[in-house]
Structure 1
Amino acid sequence: MTFVARRLAWVIGIMVLVSFLVFSLLAASPGSVVATLLGARPATPEAIEQVTAQYHLDSPFLVQYWDWAKSALSGDFGRSIQSGQTVTSDIASHLTITLQLALYALVLVLALGITIGIVAGIRQGSLFDRATSGLSVLGMSAPGFVVSILLSYLFGVLVSIFPVYGGGNGDFTDRVEHLTLPAVALAVGMIALIVRQTRAAVGDVVDQDYVTFARARGLNLRRITLHYVLRNAAAPVVNTGGLLAIHLVSGAVLVESVFALGGVGQLMVQSVESKDIPVVQGLAFFIALFVVCINLLVDVVTLILDPRTRDGVRR
């Protein structure tokens, strides 16, 4: 519990720093802060006065940050310059399809990457292992946007199997069809990475004396794999899985743009291009919160899975 409390304190400290940097985006934006917040609205005296009062622009910088931070804690990041909606509702309207895409890709990564990595790690040196290693290097070398364009051409133009534009009408079957190519494009590089990580972790455990002793005792391969190999190889795979979950968010930016999904990634690109600073601030804050929470979750799961980590924490 002491370790978790220390990590929670670390998360709070990181988020305070991130919130300050996120708020500083407004002051660091080119041009006048008032002009940036007005957007396309005419700079009438009434509009300038309203924006100044709303964002406390006549107060010192640290006072402005404190007022913004208090509002952010309650989920109020202001209003989007482009849409006029609250930042929170604007992000929420784009979040559903991004979460569905990330979940779809994560299922592919875990189902294929871990399974293939385990088989390759147990059969090191075999033809399957060599082929897997070669394909994983190729998968890690392929940028996500290149894979997206290639899949769009192959399965959307040459062989019209899956739709290549938009997220569908919300129906489950239609949504799965629309998200299949984006999810595969997002998952290819991560599958390759987790295959290599799982293979290395499993291969290291397979060479240990306790696994050799279990084989000498006549235990079947299934029991050795589940009770000896997977339990001891799980910690590094979990750490890699945490990094991949973080990559799902950053990788979704390009993939959503290629397939015009209208998710959070595409919202980020549009907000940066249009200098919609309140939306950029809200997205940056939530993404940072997601990253630190994933790191905290990975640390806790590693403590549960690996007794050696718990012993190290106690010492």
Structure 2
Amino acid sequence: MGGYLLRRLMLMVLTLFGMSVLIFIALRLVPGNIADILVDSAGIVDGAQKLKIEHELGLDRSLLFQYWQWISGLAHGDFGYAYISERPAVEEIAPRLPVTAKLAALALLFAVAIGVPLGVVSAVKRNTPLDYCLRVLSLSGLSLPSFWLGLLVLLLFVQVFGWIPIYNKPADSVWKELGLLCVPALVVGFRSSALMMRLTRSSMLEVLRQDYIRTARSKGASEPAVNYDHALRNAMLPVITIIGIEAAFLIGGLIVTETVFNIPGVARFLVEAVRSRDYPIVQNLVMFIAVIVVCINFLVDIAYTLFDPRIRYAS
């Protein structure tokens, strides 16, 4: 167990190093100097001001020094300086991060709470009218784009309730904020729940055909015990994988949803930074999202050992 976690931890560190190199090189391959882009977007004509920006960004030094300066700054919590708002990046990111985290957590909660149970029911009741209805529902969730579904939900709320569930200002209490975030979380979670439903169904059907399931039934085990104690536990490994992938996707993939529902989150701020050519902020935010994704994958690897003892004993 300890050896398995140690290997995964070392792989996580190696992955983060590779991601940091790729992010750093990719932004340096963008046509034009980053300082030139910032100067042009801000309308600066003073050459001394441009040299000052290049010195602040370390562009007048070697690439190795620039990389070390960036990584060491991140290690000390320095996310750079937002040139458009003329504020430290931490002050821009800090109030947006909890909003995106709450939205992603709610969406993932809805997806798991809806997708996994319905996938199990669909597998247990396979080839019945209920199974067909659930399969059509899952295909609908995978087919409908999030932005289009979000617009339909907004129109529905306007038509039925006479108000728009968008994030105008910070709520007065936690419950009011959760109420505002529940609608976009359901919109995002609908697609994720459809994916989890189909994967849970296929995984359950594969497990239910195994010999040990027939043996459990022949010994007189009840259907709930066979389906949930024996089959579901062994069918959860692929489901855990997709839950981890969706959790990682929700952290940086809420751009459209945050835009449609006017949510001031990290993903929307990343788009605004790209649009305004604030590339130092883009570089730090992409690396921050990469760290979260790798950490989520590490947690998924730990969850594997809880559901499959073979992984724990083999290590």
Query: Do they fold alike, i.e. is TM over 0.5?
Result: yes
Aligned partners of 1:246 and 1:306: how far apart in 2?
22
Partner of 1:3: 4
Partner of 2:218: 216
Q: Compared with structure 1, are the counterparts of its residues 210 and 267 closer, same or farther at alpha carbon in structure 2 (3 Å cutoff)?
A: same
Measured after TM superposition, the shift of residue 257 of structure 1 is 0.7
Measured after TM superposition, the shift of residue 207 of structure 1 is 2.3
2:90 to 84, 88, 91: 88
Partner of 1:64: 66
Deviations 1:198-233 (A, max 9, x none): 111122222223222322333333333332122111
Partner of 1:117: 119
Which structure 1 segments of 5+ residues have no match?
none
Partner of 1:257: 259
What count of residue pairs does the alignment treat as equivalent?
A: 312
- 1:141 equivalent to 2:165? Answer no
Aligned partners of 1:169 and 1:161: how far apart in 2?
21
Partner of 1:15: 16
TM-score by length of 1: 0.91
Aligned partners of 2:215 and 2:63: how far apart in 1?
66
- Identity among equivalent positions (%) equals 32
Contact 1:194 1:237 in 2 (8 A): yes
Aligned partners of 2:253 and 2:54: how far apart in 1?
36
Matches within 5 A, 1:182-193: 182-193=184-195
Matches within 5 A, 1:252-291: 252-291=254-293
Contact 2:101 2:251 in 1 (8 A): no
Contact 1:105 1:183 in 2 (8 A): yes
Aligned partners of 1:243 and 1:50: how far apart in 2?
42
Aligned partners of 2:169 and 2:66: how far apart in 1?
42
Where relative contact order (Cα < 8 A, 6+ residues apart) is larger, the structure is 2
Measured after TM superposition, the shift of residue 177 of structure 1 is 2.5
2:81 match: secondary structure: coil
Deviations 1:21-46 (A, max 9, x none): 32335533443332334552734355
Contact 1:97 1:167 in 2 (8 A): no
Q: CA RMSD in A?
A: 2.1
Aligned partners of 1:163 and 1:213: how far apart in 2?
55
Deviations 1:173-219 (A, max 9, x none): 32122212211111111111100111111222222232223223333
Measured after TM superposition, the shift of residue 309 of structure 1 is 3.4
Measured after TM superposition, the shift of residue 154 of structure 1 is 1.4
Deviations 1:281-301 (A, max 9, x none): 111001111111112221221
TM-score by length of 2: 0.91
Partner of 1:198: 200
Partner of 2:241: 239
Measured after TM superposition, the shift of residue 104 of structure 1 is 1.0
Q: Which amino acid aligns with 2:119?
A: G
Partner of 1:48: 50
Contact 1:15 1:289 in 2 (8 A): yes
Aligned partners of 2:165 and 2:118: how far apart in 1?
28
Aligned partners of 1:144 and 1:279: how far apart in 2?
26
Aligned partners of 1:301 and 1:253: how far apart in 2?
28
Which structure 2 segments of 5+ residues have no match?
none
Aligned partners of 1:231 and 1:13: how far apart in 2?
31
Aligned partners of 1:230 and 1:146: how far apart in 2?
34
Measured after TM superposition, the shift of residue 264 of structure 1 is 1.0
Partner of 2:232: 230
